[in-house]
Amino acid sequence: MKMRDSISKKQECKLFPNQRIIGRWHRHPYRIVRELGYGATGTVYLAESESGPVALKIARDSMSITSEVNVMRHFSKVQGPSLGPCFYDVDDYLTKDAVFPFYVMEYIQGESFLPFIRDRGAEWMGVLVVQLLNELYRLHQIGWVFGDLKPENLLVADSPYRVRWLDVGGMTRHGRSIKEYTEFFDRGYWGLGSRKAEPGYDLFSVSMLMINCAYPARFEKNGTPGIGHLMGKVRQKQLLAPYEAVILNGFQGKYQSALAMRTEMLNIIQDNSFNRKNKMNRAGSAKVATNRRAYRKNVTTAKEKHRWTGVYETMLIGTFLLILYILYLFGQ
C-alpha cells in the first residue's frame, strides 16, 4: 500500500530544480528540472541529459532500483513502442553522506489520465480503457502482471492519443505476491480476491479505474466491502451505465484474459456509436422534414433549405470521421 505519510519518510534524497548530478560510474550528467511524482520505491524527476529530456528515478534502496531496472531491461527486448518507457541508464549518485542509486528512462510527454478524460469528454474513457487492455494482454502474455494499476501510473501521449504507463515498480511475475498496490484498486482491500499476481488482479483494477473516472476523489469501503457496495456506486453515475456489465465481470473475475474484456468494451463502444449515429440520422431527418413543411407553409427560400441540408450532411460526415478515428486507435 502506498500512502503519502509513509512515503515521505523514505524520501531521503531530495533533488531540486537546476541541481546537477553526475553518475558515479558512467559519468553522465543530468540537470534536474522538476519533480514528476513519488512512490514507495523512490521519486521521479524530469531531468535534462546530453541527449534531451529524460525521467530520472532515485531512491535509497538499491534492491528496489535493481529490481525495476531488471524489469525494464526485460521489456526492452520484447516490448512494442507503447508498452512502457524505454530504459537508458542506471548509476549511483554519490553525496558526502550516502550513495543513492538511480536509473534513467524515457520521458513521455502527455497529459494525466483523469484530467484528459475530464477535459475531452466521457467517450474517451472507453477508448483509453480499450487501449490499456490491449497492452495488458501483451504484458500478461509474457508472464507479468502490472500490479499497481491506477491513473497516477498512466499518461495519455498525443499524435495520436495513446495511453502509456510510467511506473514499473509494481510489476510482478505471474504466481507471486503483488509487490505494490493502492487500496482503492486492490481487490484484497475490497474483499474480492487475493493479492496473487494473475491477469484477473489487473482486470479488477481496470474496473476500479473506470469507477475512478466517475469518482475522481475516490471513496472508502466504510466497513461495507464487496460487489454490492461498488455496484451501487456504479449505478449512481451515468458515465458508467454503458459499462456496468463489464465492470461487474471484472470484479467477479469472469474474464479469461484482458483480450476478452477488451472485446466486450469494444462492442459496447461500437454499439453506442452506432446508436448515436442513428439518433443523429433521425434528428437530421426530422429537421429536414420540418424545414420542408415550413418551406411549403411559409414559402421559405431555397437558400434556407440548402443551409439546413448542409448542416445535416456536416453532422453525418463529422460523426463518420469520429468513428473511423476511434476504430483506428483500437487497431493500433
The β-bridge relationship of strands 42-49 and 172-173 is unpaired
d(CA 157, CA 152): 14
Give helix 258-298 / helix 302-331 axis angle, nearest 10°: 180
Q: How far is CA 141 from the centre of its chain?
A: 19
Give me the amino acid identity at 122.
A
C-alpha cell at 17: 530544480
Catalytic annotation, residues = 148
C-alpha cell at 139: 504484458
**What is the 3-state composition of the chain as percent helix, strand, coil, each rounded to the nearest 5?**
50, 20, 30
d(CA 91, CA 65): 10
Nearest Cα neighbor of 185 from 42, 1, 40, 38 is 1
Give me the amino acid identity at 1.
M
Q: Is 9 annotated as a binding residue?
A: no
> For residues 41-74, b (16+ Cβ closer than 10 Å) or e, as one string?
bbbbbbbbbeeeebbbbbbbeeebbebbbebbeb
Q: Find the angle CA(156)-CA(158)-CA(164) to the nearest 5 degrees.
A: 35
CB 48 within 8 A of CB 20: no
Nearest Cα neighbor of 129 from 244, 231, 207 is 207
Annotated binding site for ATP: 57
Annotated binding site: 57
